[in-house]
Structure 1
Amino acid sequence: MSSPSMDKTHVEHLSTTPAIREPGVVDVEYGWQGNNRVELLENGEAYFPRVFEAIRQAKTEILLETFIVFEDKVGEELQEVLIAAAQRGVRITASLDGFGCGELSTGYLTALSEAGVRIQIFDPAPKHLGIRTNWFRRLHRKIVVVDGTIAFIGGINFSADHLADFGPEAKQDYSVEVQGPAVADIHHFALLQCGRPARAKYWWQRRRQRRSELAFTDHDGQVRLVYRDNGEHPTDIEEVYRQVLRSAQRRVVIANAYFFPGYRLLREIRNAAHRGVDVRLILQGQPDMLAAKLAARMTYDYLLKSGVQIYEYCDRPLHGKVALVDEDWSTVGSSNLDPLSLSLNLEANVLIRDRAFNRDLFERLEDLSDNHCKVMSVDKTPRGRVWHMTVGFLVFHFLAQFPAWAGWLPAHKPRLKPFTHSAGSDT
């Protein structure tokens, strides 16, 4: 029995289906919400049991967005718990990226669909000469919301390479579990992305959110959702990083898998170090893609000379997208600090003002940098440093403008399309 990939599924079952809408293109801003409980989940060992247990306990609704699902032991357990939830009447929408989930078989998707799971594929495309071509503008978010009361958001995909027993290529990564008022915003956002009705926020709610954003509070448990899309919010996540770097007073720690930001963000990192802030970057030393390491190293000389400390994590591939500033501000999410995440992909992070959470994240990252990383210095950076920096900036700014330039071309626009299974297809 053959098991065709989702590319063939798209050709057979989706080519005549009208597009629903492109997710992410919504003009909604979310403010700070207080009185939340936020817990850091490190790697698949902590993340998967919590998510799967929440799905098993779901009573009414599950919303899931992810970049990758593989048909390994993690993907199979995800399928199992979703089918069981659907069979007991839980309403489920799973939005999967057409590139990251491009190898899922028709059988895997059909089993979910026939159980009642509503599956949506973001920008599916057939292979050409055996190669997937839909590389850019990916649905890169990783969000799960259960019953509108518990949410998970971060960088962890549904794949076994987020577990230590995967071996040397197992990824180091982070997510958070959120319970409290902020879940309503994450739920509202997830509903909008999957094309289901979500109540609009009234003008006084929007005004209150803007006021809460401007008013600093030292209360713990503050959470705010930020996202980037290719519509009204193309730079929101990058702008948050720049703003908080400008306000940093004591310490900044950024752990990011793919680090190749533009000059404005690099300048804020450098300026923070110039002011005497303890700035640490934890980047990939054993990358899953060599290009990521080479790109990041183009920035090293510029940053090291400014007093920024750079550590390369060498135990296994770093996949995290986390940061903290001073003792009370943190962020966890799906956004890397590279042109794909900052200029092309659909991303989502949560911002967190909570001293206990900040301390927990700092202790884990400090252990990473002190015991599992190689410290970089100016004499370890590649030769031809000025040339590397010049090429790096040119490449970034070209890619940063790519979405606008691509819009001038007669190319397709990414869409979110429903998976439907035709009777008699080969599974």
Structure 2
Amino acid sequence: MNVAVEHIATDQPPDDSKARDMDYGWQSGNRVELLENGEAYFPAVFDALRGAQREILLETFILFEDKVGHELQGILIEAAQRGVKVVVSLDGFGCGELSPAFLGELAEAGVMVQMFDPASKTLGIRTNWFRRLHRKIVVVDASVAFIGGVNFSAAPLADFGPEAKQDYSVQVIGPAVADLHHFALAQSGRQVRSRRGWRRRQQRPSPWTNEQGDGLVRLIYRDNIQHRDDIEEAYIHALSQARQRVVIANAYFFPGYRLLREIRNAARRGVHVQLIMQGQPDVLLAKLAARMLYDYLLKDGVVIHEYCQRPLHGKVALVDDEWSTVGSSNLDPLSLALNLEANVLIRDRAFNQQLYERLEALARNHCQTMPAKRKPRLWLWRLTVGFLVFHVMRHFPALTGWLPAHKPRLKPFESRPHDV
């Protein structure tokens, strides 16, 4: 049979001119629900997918052929067979091990499968390491949306074992879903209308709830064209306005100097700043890189916790008692300067308080706190190495831009035969 796999560009947006510069504003009247780990996320998403009547847009960095992946595959196949338009966008690196049979079963049922930056292995090694499609977005019937850090695999479930990921996503219901829908549709390469007309068309009562929320929600994202710094700038602005508390829980933490300076400056102003980092890393280099920055932050009063129960995969933060963000973006060079990412900004006191209580419980019960005043052994050596690593990583995105595997390109639709 023929497996329909469409290849989309590494750097370029869809050809539709209306999708080239999408700047979304704050939308009021939303209901936002925090979904912690796979135990909360998968039932909510799968229930929405099973209830789809018209359209499913799904993009993810990772989809594995495990119990979660097979359940998702079955739900998408059933939806497509009953006439729902289903578009699935996958990253060529994170989903590079999916079998032709798995993809073929989706395509045979009518699911449009798109692979971002696909690349075959060279000498057994994948070459598409950078500029990944790292977003995790699901939009169902333009009525309910999910966005965050949770991938479609068994890893965010506790029964996965000691390597189970600690992670967060949100469910959004309300006017902001129209923006998430518009964005996901445009990124999938589909034709989109202007957002003004789109919003009028999409603002209809949601079948998912009769409760109207009061949360303000704004979609932000980074691409490699006109929105390279939007997520980083949102963090910097929020930190510059902080007056009481800041909590950042991020799996891969190695931001640029401007963001580090705002974190330090907030602590200097008397803001209670807490960072929750990986203590049991899934990537050892990430922990070592983050620790290069500890001394710089600790000396000005930043409290640093390392989460030691399981690998931390979350990308969440809160400032004071109202502002929060949840999404796919880490605070490292890959996410801030190379990957395609998406977060939502949330202004909602109840949501902020819920997230704060969850993170406080995490820090209190499952973290070790880094000592603030003890001078580490070999501190001068660490300072020197940290300085060098920091400045190498600052220029890392520019260096990767020279890699020939990542020249901007939009590949045409391809159909390749596979045995199923």
Q: Normalised by the size of structure 2, how large is the TM-score?
A: 0.90
Note if contact 2:9-2:116 (Cα within 8 Å) is conserved in structure 1. no
The aligned amino acid for 1:43 is: N
The aligned amino acid for 1:191 is: L
The aligned amino acid for 1:412 is: K
* Aligned residue number for residue 266 of structure 1: 260
The aligned amino acid for 1:394 is: H
| 1:412 maps to which of 395, 402, 407 | 407
Say yes or no: does 1:347 pair with 2:341.
yes
* Aligned residue number for residue 391 of structure 1: 388
Note if contact 2:7-2:115 (Cα within 8 Å) is conserved in structure 1. no
* Aligned residue number for residue 179 of structure 1: 173
Note if contact 1:96-1:121 (Cα within 8 Å) is conserved in structure 2. yes
- Give the Å deviation of 1:396: 2.1
Say yes or no: does 1:166 pair with 2:160.
yes
Note if contact 1:162-1:170 (Cα within 8 Å) is conserved in structure 2. yes
The aligned amino acid for 1:426 is: D
- Give the Å deviation of 1:388: 3.0
The 3 A distance-change label for structure 1 pair 227 and 18 is closer
- Give the Å deviation of 1:411: 5.3
* Aligned residue number for residue 96 of structure 1: 90
Q: CA RMSD in A?
A: 2.2
* Aligned residue number for residue 372 of structure 1: 366
The superposition leaves residues 121-141 of structure 1 with CA deviations (integer Å, 9 ceiling, x where unpaired) of 000001111111110000000
- Give the Å deviation of 1:400: 3.7
Note if contact 1:113-1:420 (Cα within 8 Å) is conserved in structure 2. no
The aligned amino acid for 2:64 is: F
* Aligned residue number for residue 298 of structure 2: 304
Q: Percent identity?
A: 64
Matches within 5 A, 1:30-49: 30-49=24-43
* Aligned residue number for residue 63 of structure 1: 57
* Aligned residue number for residue 246 of structure 2: 252
| 1:146 maps to which of 128, 140, 146 | 140
The 3 A distance-change label for structure 1 pair 183 and 43 is same
* Aligned residue number for residue 208 of structure 1: none
The 3 A distance-change label for structure 1 pair 228 and 411 is closer
Note if contact 1:221-1:352 (Cα within 8 Å) is conserved in structure 2. yes
* Aligned residue number for residue 419 of structure 2: 426
Note if contact 2:7-2:114 (Cα within 8 Å) is conserved in structure 1. no
Say yes or no: does 1:319 pair with 2:316.
no
Distance 1:19 1:50 in 2: 29
The 3 A distance-change label for structure 1 pair 23 and 91 is farther
The 3 A distance-change label for structure 1 pair 381 and 365 is farther
Distance 1:109 1:339 in 2: 31
The superposition leaves residues 3-39 of structure 1 with CA deviations (integer Å, 9 ceiling, x where unpaired) of xxxxxx9xx987xx88678565731100000000000
- Give the Å deviation of 1:412: 3.3
Distance 2:230 2:376 in 1: 31
- Give the Å deviation of 1:401: 2.6
Find the residue that maps to 1:401 and give its secondary structure.
helix
Find the residue that maps to 1:331 and give its secondary structure.
strand
- Give the Å deviation of 1:273: 0.2
The superposition leaves residues 333-380 of structure 1 with CA deviations (integer Å, 9 ceiling, x where unpaired) of 000000000000000000000000000000000000011000002437
Distance 2:389 2:170 in 1: 32
Q: Normalised by the size of structure 1, how large is the TM-score?
A: 0.89
Distance 1:166 1:328 in 2: 34
Is the deviation greater in 183-192 or in 25-34?
25-34
* Aligned residue number for residue 210 of structure 1: none
* Aligned residue number for residue 214 of structure 1: none
Note if contact 1:94-1:118 (Cα within 8 Å) is conserved in structure 2. yes
Note if contact 1:301-1:385 (Cα within 8 Å) is conserved in structure 2. no
The number of equivalent residue pairs is 397
Distance 2:326 2:13 in 1: 19
* Aligned residue number for residue 212 of structure 1: none
* Aligned residue number for residue 210 of structure 2: none
The 3 A distance-change label for structure 1 pair 331 and 249 is same
The superposition leaves residues 301-353 of structure 1 with CA deviations (integer Å, 9 ceiling, x where unpaired) of 00000100000000000000000000000000000000000000000000000
Structure 2 segments unaligned to the other structure (5+ residues):
15-19, 200-212
Distance 1:173 1:195 in 2: 29
* Aligned residue number for residue 106 of structure 1: 100
* Aligned residue number for residue 216 of structure 1: none
- Give the Å deviation of 1:406: 1.9
- Give the Å deviation of 1:386: 1.9
Find the residue that maps to 2:77 and give its secondary structure.
helix
